[in-house]
Amino acid sequence: MTTTTRTAHGALGWGSFEDLPSGRTLVMGVLNVTPDSFSDGGEHAGHEAAIAHGMRLLAEGADVLDVGGESTRPGSERITPAEEQRRILPVVEALAAAGAVLSVDTLHAATAAAVLDAGAHLVNDVSGLSVTPAMVEVVAERQAPYVLTHARGTPATMDGLADYDDVVDEVLAELETLRDRLVAAGVAPERIVLDPGLGFAKRGAQNWALLRALPRFTATGHRVLVGASRKRFLGALLETDGEARPAAGRDTASAAVSALSAHAGAWAVRVHDVRASADAVAVAHAWLGTEPAVLRPGAARRPRPGEGPDEPPAPRGGRGRALRAGDRAGRQHVPAAPPRVPDRRDRINLLGIGAVGYHGVLDQEKRSGQPFFVDLVMYLDLSRAGAEDDVALTAHYGEVAEEVRDMVIGPSVNLLETLADRIARRLLERFPLEAVEVTVHKPKAPIEVTFSDVSVTIYRER
């Protein structure tokens, strides 16, 4: 076997609400831990699946993850706060430990208090005019950032409450009434985020009217969140032969709304397809000429003079401040770009596989664990797989990812080099690979100097 070693840089998440960049529209990734979501059909209802998906959303550029344990689609059934917490608390705890900034989508004050205790940063409450005194009390007591969403009725009744003389005037007036109630209870105005509540007691044309009026919402002085992703009014816009476009086919339109919302000054967009909306937001800021100094997590900066493509960038902090040593826990992992190879061999790139492992030379690392991320470049002949469309002739991505995850969460080792070597050898044993390059990232390593990530890359041939 031949071996090469290289270091690379990455990051994990912003770490706190205060560290979120202020110079651009943020991207909030939707993480539904529900069996009946309208958008993903319960694909991430299990704890492990939800945590893994949250890691993927961070790697794709999410600034905030919005975790929900109860569907709020029209007509959905209510669940108890206890069941909601059973679904989401392990997910919140794991992602908070990984440095993610977390919003939790809940109607229940008890759940809001529990998730804040578990490490969440924002409460995203879509109860609207039905907000409970208990929720107001929790938000005031904790001074947690609070997304105040406009809605009438409950998910079961909201569709029958969408009658307005002027939807923009009435939504603004009702939001301001609720805002005043929160402020009177002691909630700091700067902690309140307004959400026009697209789809919540709104019919198709009313949603478009609210989007066109976004400057009126930003003029209130509050941050404004736009949640249009995959919603029914987009499906109706894209209908074919009288049939609305299914939710999974609405991501391009959702990204267009994200770009326009950024152009109109929205604080954040709440989306399912993070990568597309992160790109759309970047385009909007470039169009406006307001491209911020702090790029979105995952964006590459231009190298400074004297820096080569494999040289680590200098650490940087949120909002232009100097990066403190303690901040390294709050940066988002950025999968390394696949390395250049001297030939044109077929290869599969599988980047950003995340799991909590217990590796390191310190006893604390072996006791408490920390997040690790693995990037793979797998070399194999894909000519037959491409010609015959047969998964048996290639490396099954899901099985590879599961194998890597199991290696990371498995028996502890002292060195990244050892972990990377074990992963490479195991993949060569199990899958039809000619060679594999494995990069293991350890963004929260206990190093006393400022850094953004440490990683080891090895190359192994059969």
Same domain, 69 and 175: yes
In a domain, 13, yes or no: no
* 79 within some domain: yes
Same domain? 125 vs 30: yes
Residue 316 sits at φ, ψ, to 5 deg, of -140, 155
Helix (H) or strand (E) holding 50: helix 47-59
Q: Is the pLDDT of residue 297 over 90?
A: no
Same domain, yes or no: 400 and 354: yes
- Both tokens of 306, joined, read 């004297």
Q: Give the type of residue at 246.
A: P
For residue 248, give the DSSP letter.
G
Q: Whole-angstrom Cα distance, residue 20 to residue 22?
A: 6
**Closest to 407 in 3D by CA, of 417, 389, 419, 393:** 419
Number of H helices, E strands in the chain: 14, 14
Query: In which band, very low, low, confident or very high, does the pLDDT at 165 lie, cut at 50, 70 and 90?
Result: very high
Confidence of residue 156 (pLDDT cuts 50, 70, 90): confident
**Which domain CATH number covers 451?**
3.30.1130.10
Query: Are 273 and 339 contained in the same domain?
Result: no
In a shared domain, residues 270 and 344? no
Q: What is the pTM for the complete model shown?
A: 0.63
Q: Regarding predicted confidence, which is higher, 446 or 320? A: 446
- Same domain? For 277 and 421 the reply is no
- pLDDT above 90 for 179: yes
DSSP state of 147: E
- 15 assigned to some structural domain: no
Question: 214 and 341: one domain?
Answer: no
Query: Quick one: how far is CA 177 from the chain centroid?
Result: 31
Mean pLDDT of 136-149: 96
- Domain of residue 328 covers 324-461
* 408 & 283 share domain: no
Q: What is the DSSP string of 97-123?
A: HTT-EEEEE-S-HHHHHHHHHTT--EE
235 and 250 Cβ atoms separated by less than 8 Å: yes
Helix (H) or strand (E) holding 312: none
For position 75, which CATH number holds? 3.20.20.20
The token pair that represents 158 in the structure block: 């909201």
- Do 207 and 65 lie in one domain? The reply is yes
Whether residues 276 and 368 fall in one domain: no
**Is 331 an active-site residue?**
no
Q: Contact at 8 Å (CB) between 144 and 124?
A: no
Buried/exposed code over 150-189 (b: 16+ C-beta within 10 A; e: otherwise):
bbbbbbeebbebbebeebbeebbebbeebbeebeeeebee
Query: Tens digit of pLDDT for each residue in 15-33?
Result: 788 888 888 999 999 999 9
Number of domains within the chain:
2
In a domain, 411, yes or no: yes
List the catalytic residue out of 270, 328, 444, 460. 270
| Residue 373 domain-assigned (yes or no) | yes
* Residue 203 bears catalytic tag: no
Which of 87, 202, 231, 328 does the annotation list as catalytic? 231
pLDDT 10s digits, 32-80:
998 755 455 556 567 888 999 999 999 999 999 999 988 776 666 778 9
